[in-house]
Structures are given as C-alpha cells and as structure tokens.
A and B are shown apart, each in its own frame.
Chain A
Amino acid sequence: MVKPTRRRREALTGYAFLLPSLIPLIVFTLYPLAYSGYLSLVKWNLLSPRKEFVGFANYTRLANDEALLRVFANTALYTAAVVSIGVIVGLVLALLLNRRLWLRALWRGVFFLPSVVPLAVLSGLWLWIYDPGFGLMNYLLRSIGLPAGQWLHSPTSALWAIIVMMIWQTAGYNMVILLAGLQNISEELYEAARLDGAGRGVILTRITLPLLSPTLLFITVVASIQAFRVFDPIWVMSLGTGGPANSTGTLVFYLYRQAFMFFEAGYASAIAYLVVGIALTFTVIQLWLSRRWVTYE
C-alpha cells in the first residue's frame, strides 16, 4: 500500500513542478489553438456578438481562392530561397571563419550583427538602400556602369529584394550555429584523415559535412518554419500593402489582412490551420529525409 501512494505523490510533485510552464502553454497556446479551430468553422466579423456556424465552408473557400494561390506561391518562393541560400551562405561563412584568420572574432561579430539589430531598423535602412531614385544600391550600380533597378517598386523584383535582405539578416545566425557544430567535430578525425593523405575536398565531403549534418538539419528545419510564417519584413518593406500589385503578399500576411482588415475571423482561422498543416507536413518530411542522410558521431 505504501508504494502506490508514494509513487502518486511523486507524480503529483512532478506535475506541480511542471505547472509554471504548463499553465502558460494551456492559456497561450493550446486554448487559442483550439479556439481558432472552432472559429474556422464559423463566419464572424470580430465585432458582432453573433457567430454563424458554417461547417467547412471556410475550408472549401480556401480551395477556390485565387488570391490565396498567389500568396502561397510567394511564400513558397520566399521560403525556398531564404532557406537554401541562407543556409549555404551561412555554411560558407562558418567554414571560412572556422579557420585561423586575422581578426577572426571581429569577422564573426560583423556577420552576426544583422541578426541582433531589430527588423524595424533594418527595414528602414533597406528601404533607403533600395530607393530607385536616390538609393545606395542604384548609386553603386550606376557608378560601376550597370543599369539601375526598380527593386521594391517593381512587381518582378520586389519579393527578391526582400529575400536578399532576409538572407543578409539570417545568414549570420546560421553561421554561428554551424560554427558551434564545426567545433564539435573532433580534431582527431581530421588528423587521422590527413595522415591517410586525404585532401581538402575529401575531408569536407567525407568528414565535415556528414558530421555537420545534424546541425544542418536543425538549421534547415528552424529556418523553414521561420521563413514559412514570414510577416514583419513583408509588412514593413511593402508599407503594409503586400505590393506592388500583390507581388509580395505571403500566407501569414494574407491571414493578417483577412482577420484584422477584412474582418473575416473565420476564414483567417482556416488559413491559420492551413499554415500549421503545411508547416507540420514539411517538418515531418524533413525529419523523415534526415534519417537517410544525417550522421550522428
């Protein structure tokens, strides 16, 4: 009789210790998640006391929404570009700055700097860089005899302009995490390889990259989720419009507009569930793929 009570008491103590993190999780994550699920089944303008139950109408509307297709394509392009290029740039920087270089600590700091500056400040800076008439970018291009661009003012280049800014902003963070990963690889492996006569290329592809793969996976998963729900840079760089001519709107930006500007709380919740579903699918696929190519030391 003594044993179960004691075990129960232990369990209770355990839960009690969990409470401080469990309560915020329930109040700020699980409850809103469930409530948003309920909202996705109603038509509600946020202000009216009445919520009309519409079943899965908001979800069927997703399938027929032309504008949604557009923002989905924008989001996919943004995510693919920011994640793939951002990780590659981060990797190159990490490999370079893992060597013994002159002023190495300074370079590491310089490349990491963009990730600690608030996005609002960065955006102000880049809005000026990209100004087609008087910005730094066109000034530099003209001074070396290249044609100037319209950047944020053209539907064909606006999204790419934001992508470039965000690669610049996230590559430093990727670099720091990858540097940590690089330093976890034991020096003995490199020594042994060198003794066996392995060249730089072989060391990179046979030792460094395979042993860095868990870190690369981590970075890719985190960066994909971050990129997929991008909102702030879009909002600031398009001055709240998702333009010019709808060329920069993303899924979460669209969700925000539906909820807080078009007063479509139900439809916005359905979009939120779509975003969650896609992000979840991608994560599962990434983790599944990882079993094939991630090596743990």
Chain B
Amino acid sequence: MPRPTRALIVALVVLVLALPSWMAPAQAQRNPLAVTVWFPLPTGGPLKEAMDDLVTRFNSSHTDIRVTLELTGDYQQNYQKLQTAIVAGSPPDGAMMELMQIPEFADAGVLAPLDELAKQRDFNFADINPALLGNSYWKGKLYAIPWQRSTTMMYYNVDAFKEAGLPEFAPPQTWDDFRRVAPKLVVRQGDQIMRYAIEGDFNHDWLYEGMVYSYGGRLVSQDGRRALFGEPPSVAALTLLRDLAKRDKVLYVNPNFSGIIENFIAGRSAAIVHSSFALSIITSRARFRWSVAPIPAGPSGSVLNAGGGNFVLFAKTSPERQRAAWEFLKWMTSSANTAFYSMRSGYLPIRASATEDGQLKSHYKQFPMAKKSVDLSFNYGKSRMVVLDVEKGVRQFLNPALEAVLLGSADPKQALDEATSKANAVLGGK
C-alpha cells in the first residue's frame, strides 16, 4: 500500500473514533445511571405503548436515571429468561413477574427485600388495594409491589337475562340462586347446547381457589406447607361445579382462556367468570348490553381472586442501582401513573386514590363498567395462596384432579384426597 494512502486511512480512523465525543458534549457532562427492567409483554400492542409512554416520561423527569425496558413475551417466557439470566449471573435490575412465581425467587435469595427502601423513601402503602398487596410478601419480608393486576369477576349478558325472563340488572348473588335460574338461560337446539348459562376455566387453580375461598376454605395452609384441597369446603365447591357442568349441563368448563371471551362476545354463554382484564376486550367488541357482577357467593360470601404481575428488584445489582430502580418503581405505582396504566391497559389501578384521578374519572364516565369492576375488586378481592413450588406441589396434582372431576370421570372427594396426599409429599417435605 503506498504511504499517502495508509496515512489517509489512519487519519480517517482517528477521526471516526473521535467523532462521538464531539457530537454529544451534553451527555458527556453527566452520565445518567442506566437501569434495566424486564417486562413480560409482547413487542407490540397497547400495553407496550402505555409502558413506553411511562418510561419516556420517567426518563425525562429524572435526568440522573435512565430506565430501559426489555420486553420478554408472556409470563412463562419472562420467567424462563429470568431463570437463565440468574444462572448466568446477570439478572436485570428489576422486572415484573407473575405473582405466583415470586416465592421461588424470593426463597432462593435472588430478589432484593424492599422493606428498607420502602421505609427510607416513604412509600405510601395505605391506599393500595389490600387484595393486591397480599402476594407481595415472603416469610414476612416485602419483595414485590403490585402493578399489572386483575381479579376474577362475572360478566353477564343483560339481553340474555332479559330474554330468559330474569331481572336485567340483578344477576343471582349466590350459587344456590344461580343454580335455580340457570336452566332458563340455556338455549338448546336438539341435543346441542347453543348457549350455556355460565362458562369459565374452573379447571385452573386461579378460578378454583376463589371458589374454595367463597366456601370458607383455602387451597393451602397459611404457612404454605399443607395442602387443604381435600377439606370439606373444597370438596363442596368442586361438587357444585361438577353438578353444574355434568348434571344440570349449564356450566361450560373451558380451559381455553381467550376462547371463553370469544364465546361470551358471540352470545354462546349468558355469563362468564373471567379476569377483570377481559373488560376492555368485551367493551370494544360485545354488541349487546352486558354488565359485571360479583361471582355468585358460596356460604362465605363472594370472592374475586386476585392475579397478575408484580414489580420485583434483584439482589445482585448495586445499592445505587437498587435505589434508582426503586425510584422508578415508586414513580410507576404512584396514583397518577397507576391510573394512566389502568386506563390504557385495562388492568386495575392498584390504589384507591387513583380512582379520583381526573383523566380516569372522565374515562369512567365513558366506560362505567370499568369503574364498577374496580369497585368490585376493592369490595370482594382476595389475595392468592403464598406457596413455594406452586407448580410442583399444587398445580401438578390439583389441576388434573379438577379436570378429571369436571369431565365427569372422577369423584370429587376421592380425586381431591388423592391429589392432597401427593401434594403434601412435596409441600411438607421441605
């Protein structure tokens, strides 16, 4: 290569390397602390847009912190990616996790306890919906703050109730009442059922746990070490569900969560038990009058079981970054921001004060059902069981037992007893 050419190349390289420092003098003065937060959301859609808006606002109002959101798909993918990152020794600073997955991480010591941060930086717990806060603790310590939350509730087709000669805006309040009127709501064509009275994924422990609560029981003892699904309240709840599904043929137990919403919208079910999150989908697509109501009550009243995702911080990050991530978390869960996210996403606002937010109030004027569902969550909401090994110790045995009974191929008491003794071998063995 001739000398002049080589010199030219060297000069160019030097020039290019030096460029960034000329071009960004402002950034060079003060480097904001970079904080990474993982979020179980798909890479498109209204939830992502709402989160992007919030993060942009946070970053522009906090010049010393720069939060980057990384989207990880659904809750299960998020969980696996976090596991992998922890094993590889590089978890993010914070993340949102499905609340039943949190005890595993808290127990393994990979999550940062938040009590100190909450005390130092006076965090307001007072007006957080207590039903949503219950799953934030592990062995007495605070590990999570509610964020993307929902409860179960009942949606009912007002037109279908009217058609059946039932009161339009007074759905049955107890299961006994429901069972009495349910046959009127069913539409048959020959031997085919064109419309069920009620539909829901009662095979799953989320809806089922709510049923057991309303029958006065629990799935697992308070300390998380003893399975109680063989106890009388659980057996009574499952027997009722089995009778509704198999004897009366008024309940359609559908394991396909999105299919249930589709069936309701298409008028194939007069009522469904589903997540409060379904409200925004039903609002935009149902072409009939509908409303929300408490799930019919058992002997211990109506219970709407809480679910969804909570914020956590990871222990491995530096105290400085933990404080920065906490700042983000605190800002995000403020009244105004939880109101904003609720309005845009369809999830519940986590604070009572959020419902007084001006924007949310005018949103409620337009969508009164949204306000009603939030009120229901405050009045009837209940926290889920807190248990280590929920997959291995509870779902592995309970959910197949529920399926077998609701398909009519097993006896409630026998199936639940068997599942209980298998579950106790795992839960009690700790």
Q: Identify the A interface with B (CB < 8 A).
A: 45-48, 127, 131, 133-134, 142, 148, 150, 153-155, 239-241, 243-246, 257, 260-264
- CB within 8 Å of A: which of B368-422? 389, 391-392, 396, 399-401, 403-404, 407, 409-410
Tally inter-chain residue pairs, CB-CB below 8 A: 76
Instruction: Add 6 more A-B contacts to A45-B108, A153-B255, A262-B396 (CB < 8 A).
Output: A47-B83, A47-B86, A133-B254, A239-B256, A244-B203, A244-B403
What would be 28 A-B contacts, judged by CB atoms less than 8 Å apart?
Answer: A45-B108, A46-B83, A46-B87, A47-B108, A47-B110, A127-B259, A131-B259, A133-B196, A133-B254, A133-B263, A133-B268, A134-B263, A153-B255, A155-B409, A240-B76, A241-B255, A241-B399, A243-B399, A243-B400, A244-B255, A244-B400, A244-B404, A245-B403, A245-B410, A246-B400, A257-B391, A261-B391, A263-B392
A239 to B203, alpha carbons, bound, how many Å?
A: 12
Q: What 3 A-B pairs have minimum CB-CB distances, sorted nearest first?
A: A47-B108, A262-B392, A261-B391
Q: Cβ of B196: which chain A residues have Cβ within 8 Å of it? A: 133
**Interface assignment of B222: CB less than 8 Å from any CB of chain A:** no
Q: Cβ of B266: which chain A residues have Cβ within 8 Å of it? A: 134
Name B80's closest neighbour in chain A (CB-CB).
A260
Task: Tell me the minimal C-beta distance from B406 to chain A in angstroms.
Answer: 9
Cβ A245 vs Cβ B83 within 8 A: no
Q: Cβ of A155: which chain B residues have Cβ within 8 Å of it? A: 403-404, 407, 409
Q: Cβ of A150: which chain B residues have Cβ within 8 Å of it? A: 407
Q: Cβ of B110: which chain A residues have Cβ within 8 Å of it? A: 47
- CB within 8 Å of A: which of B183-220? 192-193, 196, 203
Name B76's closest neighbour in chain A (CB-CB).
A240
Cβ B400 vs Cβ A245 within 8 A: yes
How many residues on chain B are close to A (CB under 8 Å)?
A: 35
Q: Cβ of B83: which chain A residues have Cβ within 8 Å of it? A: 46-47, 260
Cβ A47 vs Cβ B407 within 8 A: no
Cβ B409 vs Cβ A245 within 8 A: yes
A46 to B91, alpha carbons, bound, how many Å?
A: 14
Cβ B392 vs Cβ A239 within 8 A: no
**Interface assignment of B252: CB less than 8 Å from any CB of chain A:** yes
Q: Identify the B interface with A (CB < 8 A).
A: 76, 79-80, 83, 86-87, 104-105, 108, 110, 192-193, 196, 203, 252, 254-257, 259, 263, 266, 268, 389, 391-392, 396, 399-401, 403-404, 407, 409-410
Cβ A239 vs Cβ B252 within 8 A: no
Cβ A262 vs Cβ B391 within 8 A: yes
> Could you tell me the dominant secondary structure of chain B's interface residues?
helix
Q: Cβ of A257: which chain B residues have Cβ within 8 Å of it? A: 391, 396
Task: Tell me the minimal C-beta distance from A225 to chain B in angstroms.
Answer: 25
Cβ A127 vs Cβ B409 within 8 A: no
A245 in complex: contacting residue of B268, B391, B396, B404, CB < 8 Å? B404
A154 to B407, alpha carbons, bound, how many Å?
A: 7
Cβ B392 vs Cβ A47 within 8 A: no
Cβ B108 vs Cβ A243 within 8 A: no
Task: Tell me the minimal C-beta distance from A219 to chain B in angstroms.
Answer: 33
Cβ A133 vs Cβ B404 within 8 A: no
Q: Cβ of B263: which chain A residues have Cβ within 8 Å of it? A: 133-134
Given the known interface contacts A127-B256, A134-B263, the answer about A148 and B400 at a Cβ–Cβ threshold of 8 Å is no
Q: Cβ of A154: which chain B residues have Cβ within 8 Å of it? A: 407
Name B266's closest neighbour in chain A (CB-CB).
A134
Name A241's closest neighbour in chain B (CB-CB).
B399
A14 to B151, alpha carbons, bound, how many Å?
A: 64
Q: Cβ of B80: which chain A residues have Cβ within 8 Å of it? A: 260
Task: Tell me the minimal C-beta distance from B233 to chain A in angstroms.
Answer: 23
Cβ A244 vs Cβ B392 within 8 A: no
Cβ A134 vs Cβ B105 within 8 A: no
Q: Cβ of A241: which chain B residues have Cβ within 8 Å of it? A: 255, 399-400
Q: Cβ of B87: which chain A residues have Cβ within 8 Å of it? A: 46-47
A164 to B83, alpha carbons, bound, how many Å?
A: 35
Cβ B268 vs Cβ A261 within 8 A: no
Name B107's closest neighbour in chain A (CB-CB).
A47
Q: Cβ of B257: which chain A residues have Cβ within 8 Å of it? A: 239
Q: Cβ of A262: which chain B residues have Cβ within 8 Å of it? A: 389, 391-392, 396
Given the known interface contacts A133-B263, A244-B407, A245-B409, the answer about A142 and B192 at a Cβ–Cβ threshold of 8 Å is yes
Task: Tell me the minimal C-beta distance from A247 to chain B in angstroms.
Answer: 9
Task: Tell me the minimal C-beta distance from B259 to chain A in angstroms.
Answer: 7
A153 in complex: contacting residue of B193, B392, B407, CB < 8 Å? B407
A260 to B403, alpha carbons, bound, how many Å?
A: 23
Q: Cβ of A131: which chain B residues have Cβ within 8 Å of it? A: 256, 259
Task: Tell me the minimal C-beta distance from A3 to chain B in angstroms.
Answer: 38
A142 to B189, alpha carbons, bound, how many Å?
A: 12
Task: Tell me the minimal C-beta distance from B328 to chain A in angstroms.
Answer: 24
Cβ A47 vs Cβ B404 within 8 A: no
Task: Tell me the minimal C-beta distance from B227 to chain A in angstroms.
Answer: 16
Task: Tell me the minimal C-beta distance from B147 to chain A in angstroms.
Answer: 23
Cβ B193 vs Cβ A133 within 8 A: yes
A240 to B255, alpha carbons, bound, how many Å?
A: 10
A148 in complex: contacting residue of B104, B192, B252, B256, CB < 8 Å? B192
Q: Cβ of A133: which chain B residues have Cβ within 8 Å of it? A: 193, 196, 252, 254, 263, 268
Name A128's closest neighbour in chain B (CB-CB).
B259
A243 to B203, alpha carbons, bound, how many Å?
A: 10
Cβ B392 vs Cβ A261 within 8 A: yes
Name B409's closest neighbour in chain A (CB-CB).
A155
